[in-house]
Homo-oligomer: A and B are copies of this chain.
């Protein structure tokens, strides 16, 4: 009894097609819900043009990276099929309005990641619909806002994401996230954080889902200038390069003929 999926065959690009299909310049779309910057004076002071602007400004100056932005209140949250089609890597910041992101847009993003687009999930976006739907878990954690010190330990000095980062780096004032972080075991764990208040956290986690790569990076906050920190910026730049698509393959569930005789 056949499934109801059409029998299209998966298309594998050969080397040349691959390179052509992937622009040399990595096109990043920096997404932000862009809400507390509008309503909260303390946030506006740190990020007058929004967190997305700060991230895009930093990424956009990097060689081989081109960054634009999209926000929740734009039509389709700024993430139309067309925009996503032209996006190599999507970075995601959300905090207070996760529930306002339309399921349809989440599904559109998820499909693109499975086809090969990179996804970088920042700080409080651990609770975003897109991250939770790609992980399959709750993505819960312990937290505290006390402006304490964090030290991120680099446990994979050979990984592209930690290029140029030493044995560890510090952030003087952060919101704390502590274990247990409810995620599937990462394919690769690159940072573990130490917090002054006594907790630890898996702060840099890599996964592959479908043909896409996903990186969760813990640092970030709306009133601490985390996205102006040089090490954080370096990690984000590295993560964008790491998550850039290696292939772009639509989903397919083909009904196929045998390759060998069935006696």
Contacts and interface: CB of A to CB of B under 8 A. Distances in A.
Interface stretch (A48-56, A79-87, A194-202): A194-202
Contact of A154 (B12, B14, B187): B12
Interface in A40-98: 40, 43, 95-96
Nearest to A160: B246
Interface in A185-210: 185, 187-189, 192-200, 202, 207-210
A79 to B, nearest CB: 18
Interface of A: 1-5, 9-10, 12, 14-15, 18, 36, 40, 43, 95-96, 110, 114, 116, 124, 127, 133-138, 140-146, 148, 151, 153-160, 163-167, 176, 178-182, 184-185, 187-189, 192-200, 202, 207-211, 222-223, 245-247, 249, 251-260, 262
A141 B246 CA distance: 21
A252 to B, nearest CB: 6
B259 A197 contact: yes
A10 B251 contact: no
Task: Kindly list the 10 A-B residue pairs having the minimum CB-CB distance in the complex, ordered from nearest.
Answer: A197-B258, A198-B259, A15-B164, A158-B211, A140-B253, A158-B247, A198-B260, A134-B136, A138-B251, A192-B200
A144 B249 contact: no
Contacts of A9: 167
